[in-house]
Chain A
């Protein structure tokens, strides 16, 4: 026992020293990150948003670092958790910043571009082949040593060959110059990355854990967070971050380039600003009723004998909203109801059903742009297949029955009465397959016993469908409805392609997202476009909420 204590003592002493160093590191870090950012910010003439956000993040990390030092001093396991978190974030952040400064991301992008063209990149295949040679067991016999060695040689030579081809040697040679060109920052980042990395590794060792009283449950919790961190950080950086940024932008007049003044709720006011005027005569011009420098005519109608004119500051928003809602009202049922029927059909045990399941799913995996271009061609009123079939059918009927049915010669994409319908048909065709698969999955989870019991009770096929299948499919139906509605309210690719980005003919296919795109990326009114995006979010949120409420009520009714 005494020898064990004696053996522990040097370890404890060493751990004490390490914890002292860690504490000093965290105090230094806290001081730098709490005091540094305000000094840097005050030295900037006009700090931009990114500088302010970075300063806030630095302050937060600084506070965490200070807390880590305090808890380490008190030998509390919380100090370990905080220290590991701070050093992990610091190491990762410095590594990413360094990679950015050295042009690694741009380089990787170019490498990826070159990948498709360069035969030398096939050398990477050798690495995979080598791995299989050295690991794949035949009939559960252990891999012979010779084969393992051969696999390793193939793998290494493939890897080395690829790296040489990709220019790793020249990269190594150019690295010092990149550091020199970058000034002091790459060196500082490298230093911070290495120190934070070392501190991270040291704190994760068993002796520090024991000294701070960390238990298995704490380590497990940390491991959990560590595994979660790539997703979590990705979510914060690439989803939550831009989301909050767009909310901020919606209160500015940002144009992506120079201008970014705070305008408060002006963008939202412009979106919703309507003016109502009373008309003396039904055809009285807009300019006699309201300020044409601000409003465009949106609607004129008569109520109780009085002509009324509604003007909008942004007419295109209201048109886009109407088109989007009409699109949703048509496209959702057209892609959900046929999907349900198809799923019921494909759920049968008839031969060839697997082939049909694949066939119906193909449109869902086809690229939207390609599909839209093909449909655009098919919709051509002169040389398109759709009108060709309609004309052929009309001619056939007229010849057969002696009728004089007129060929409608529908101008699918050129007539504002049909253009949106054409996009609805195209979209529904593409979405049906995916919804069918979802319904099919739902159908296959319904216990057979329910149908057997219903049969025993004398229910026919129709009654079984409405009283067993539909109620049991309610959760799937809700999911399909919600996702399809969201998809419909965000429709963009199809209308962008078929209208060449205009939303035409006229404004017949102008949807919310296309209007948003035109404002944000053609006129570069990013502030206004962000406000439109948030309005669209609210619209989608309301629709989804209503669907959830209805579903809850419906499932309550089923439960009763």
Chain B
């Protein structure tokens, strides 16, 4: 480049830098400080004008369609609140959404408002990353904790300093979900098995009936399997719950994986796998289900949009009842929370409140991915109109039958507990470890998660 172009190049570089200054990037948050009681918002007079405020917010959409729904909601809420909103679709679960988020929080570049799963609330709170929204909620007309499912609200209002619930407010639940069994009705009919939906209506849908259906479908031969689930804590945990057991003791400060009831649930699952009735543990069961090779596939509401595209006849049924007389289902939930270091706490709260209003929740639920986190007959009635219209009640039944809330560990490290449990359960369900040996050793390992 000759001398003529040197000044042009220099100017261009300089202007590019200047142009970069013009991009409306939200102000980076400062490094996190230990959790402290939140201060009420400053008087409005000291705040910048609403038009100048930029808030970044993020969710974990499962696909582009869901991301588009959130983007359109962002535009709508932006107009309603008069705040400039920048929606950032986060990576999927397998793209380490929470790990990336925590890293950004450590670096001070995280968004102002973000969604996190219920299990992560304790970790985020105890690291001092979340803003206590109680002072802002207290000033908001019409707000009440009772508008939402009580189980998530127990954890979202838990104060780790006093060990009491109802004192703080770490966020509002975006949605809830629960497990159902997605059914391949064509396979079930072909196998001559009884219709699980009818059995459920008659109150005969229990583990024995479930196993019989799985066996009949499996008997079709070839690579057809009666049942399939994916390898994470939710699916096997539901069987442990249904047997009357669970991961933790009542105080949630010690392992309960070696209790008789928990082991009963695990033993039932092991039988299914040993008998070859299920898609091998550790493999993604969704592709074979969608390929028409699995009779019953256990998954949550989030799987509905994907499954709705299959070519065979499908429907859902609630989980079978276990020895405890309940399904042992989970109440999965996630919440919108506010970055402790947001520059605009008042506006961030308004955004969280707006995102959890019934009309917005209905729009997200219409995608088929979520169940609204608000309670009320109107909300339920609206939900029942959404896909699959035939038997959407199965989800609500799951939520009504004493579900166990996906709960954070306030006295330990959930990732450590999950890793210890997940590896051993995997060994049991792949035939490498007996249920007895599991029971003898698991709590020695998993209890270390509570000592951190």
Distance between A489 CB and nearest chain B CB, rounded to angstroms: 22
Query: Which of under 10, 10 to 19, 20 to 34, or 35 or more describes the interface residues of A?
Result: 35 or more
What residue in chain B is nearest A170 (Cβ atoms)? B22
For B28, B128, B423, B432, the residue with the greatest tally of chain A CB atoms inside 10 Å of its CB is: B423
A-B contact count (CB 8 A): 185
Indicate with 1 or 0, residue by residue over B92-129, a CB within 8 angstroms of chain A CB atoms: 00101001001101100100000000000000000111
Q: Give the residues from 402 to 436 in chain A that come closer than 8 angstroms, CB to CB, to chain B.
A: 411, 413-416, 419
A416 B16 Cβ-Cβ under 8 A: no
Distance between B32 CB and nearest chain A CB, rounded to angstroms: 5
A522 B280 Cβ-Cβ under 8 A: no
A334 to B5: give the CA distance in the assembly, Å.
53
Indicate with 1 or 0, residue by residue over A507-524, a CB within 8 angstroms of chain B CB atoms: 100000000001001111
A376 to B8: give the CA distance in the assembly, Å.
51
B441 at the interface (CB under 8 A from A): yes
B444 A296 Cβ-Cβ under 8 A: yes
Question: Which of B4, B25, B444 contacts A110 (CB under 8 A)?
Answer: B25
For B109, B424, B445, B451, the residue with the greatest tally of chain A CB atoms inside 10 Å of its CB is: B445
Distance between A104 CB and nearest chain B CB, rounded to angstroms: 5
Residues of A near B447 (CB, < 8 A) are: 293
- With A107-B21, A505-B231 known to touch, is A414 a contact of B283 (CB < 8 Å)? yes
B251 at the interface (CB under 8 A from A): no
What residue in chain A is nearest B32 (Cβ atoms)? A257
B20 at the interface (CB under 8 A from A): yes
Q: Give the residues from 213 to 250 in chain A that come closer than 8 angstroms, CB to CB, to chain B.
A: none
A175 at the interface (CB under 8 A from B): yes
Q: Give the residues from 415 to 442 in chain B that come closer than 8 angstroms, CB to CB, to chain A.
A: 415-416, 419, 422-424, 426-427, 430, 432, 440-441
A174 at the interface (CB under 8 A from B): yes
A549 at the interface (CB under 8 A from B): no
What residue in chain A is nearest B293 (Cβ atoms)? A382
Indicate with 1 or 0, residue by residue over B278-298, a CB within 8 angstroms of chain A CB atoms: 011111100110010100000
Indicate with 1 or 0, residue by residue over A172-212, a CB within 8 angstroms of chain B CB atoms: 10110010000000000000000000000000000000000
A256 to B123: give the CA distance in the assembly, Å.
13
Indicate with 1 or 0, residue by residue over A143-179, a CB within 8 angstroms of chain B CB atoms: 0000000001001100100010011101110110010
Distance between A412 CB and nearest chain B CB, rounded to angstroms: 9
B249 at the interface (CB under 8 A from A): no
- Chain B: interface residue total (CB-CB under 8 A): 64
Question: Which of A178, A256, A258, A293 contacts B102 (CB under 8 A)?
Answer: A256
A527 at the interface (CB under 8 A from B): no
A99 at the interface (CB under 8 A from B): yes
Residues of A near B106 (CB, < 8 A) are: 256-257, 524
A505 B18 Cβ-Cβ under 8 A: no
A502 at the interface (CB under 8 A from B): yes
A505 B430 Cβ-Cβ under 8 A: yes
A175 B18 Cβ-Cβ under 8 A: yes
B102 A524 Cβ-Cβ under 8 A: yes
B23 at the interface (CB under 8 A from A): yes
- With A257-B129, A413-B283, A518-B415 known to touch, is A171 a contact of B18 (CB < 8 Å)? yes
A174 to B24: give the CA distance in the assembly, Å.
11
Distance between A298 CB and nearest chain B CB, rounded to angstroms: 12
A377 B19 Cβ-Cβ under 8 A: no
Distance between A317 CB and nearest chain B CB, rounded to angstroms: 13
B413 A523 Cβ-Cβ under 8 A: yes
A504 B423 Cβ-Cβ under 8 A: yes
A108 B283 Cβ-Cβ under 8 A: no
For B19, B31, B280, B287, the residue with the greatest tally of chain A CB atoms inside 10 Å of its CB is: B19
B33 at the interface (CB under 8 A from A): yes
A504 B18 Cβ-Cβ under 8 A: no
Question: Which of A152, A380, A524 contacts B283 (CB under 8 A)?
Answer: A380
B49 at the interface (CB under 8 A from A): no
A285 at the interface (CB under 8 A from B): yes
A58 to B223: give the CA distance in the assembly, Å.
69
B12 A127 Cβ-Cβ under 8 A: yes
For B25, B293, B424, the residue with the greatest tally of chain A CB atoms inside 10 Å of its CB is: B25
Residues of A near B127 (CB, < 8 A) are: 255, 257-258, 524
- With A159-B8, A506-B426, A523-B415 known to touch, is A103 a contact of B25 (CB < 8 Å)? yes
A524 to B27: give the CA distance in the assembly, Å.
25
Question: Which of A155, A168, A413 contacts B22 (CB under 8 A)?
Answer: A168
Distance between A79 CB and nearest chain B CB, rounded to angstroms: 30
B288 A110 Cβ-Cβ under 8 A: no
A239 to B18: give the CA distance in the assembly, Å.
29
B283 A411 Cβ-Cβ under 8 A: yes
Question: Which of A293, A497, A503 contacts B451 (CB under 8 A)?
Answer: A293
Question: Which of B12, B20, B103 contacts A159 (CB under 8 A)?
Answer: B12
- With A293-B448, A521-B96, A523-B416 known to touch, is A175 a contact of B284 (CB < 8 Å)? no
Residues of B near A172 (CB, < 8 A) are: 18
Distance between A338 CB and nearest chain B CB, rounded to angstroms: 28
A500 at the interface (CB under 8 A from B): yes
Residues of A near B413 (CB, < 8 A) are: 523
Distance between A144 CB and nearest chain B CB, rounded to angstroms: 16
B47 at the interface (CB under 8 A from A): no
Indicate with 1 or 0, residue by residue over B1-40, a CB within 8 angstroms of chain A CB atoms: 0001100100110011111111101011001111000000
Question: Which of B17, B129, B415, B426 contacts A505 (CB under 8 A)?
Answer: B426
Q: Give the residues from 251 to 293 in chain B that come closer than 8 angstroms, CB to CB, to chain A.
A: 279-284, 287-288, 291, 293
A522 B415 Cβ-Cβ under 8 A: yes
B225 at the interface (CB under 8 A from A): yes
B287 A383 Cβ-Cβ under 8 A: yes
A286 B287 Cβ-Cβ under 8 A: no
Q: Give the residues from 328 to 342 in chain A that come closer than 8 angstroms, CB to CB, to chain B.
A: none
- Name the 9 nearest CB pairs between A and B, nearest first: A107-B20, A414-B282, A171-B22, A167-B22, A166-B19, A414-B280, A256-B106, A292-B444, A171-B18
A contact residues vs B (CB 8 Å cutoff): 99, 102-111, 114, 127, 131, 152, 155-156, 159, 163, 166-168, 170-172, 174-175, 178, 255-258, 285-287, 292-293, 296-297, 316, 376-377, 380-383, 411, 413-416, 419, 497, 500-507, 518, 521-524
In the assembled complex, 8 residue pairs joining A and B whose CB atoms fall closer than 8 Å, in A order, are A106-B25, A296-B445, A377-B287, A382-B279, A411-B280, A414-B281, A505-B282, A521-B99
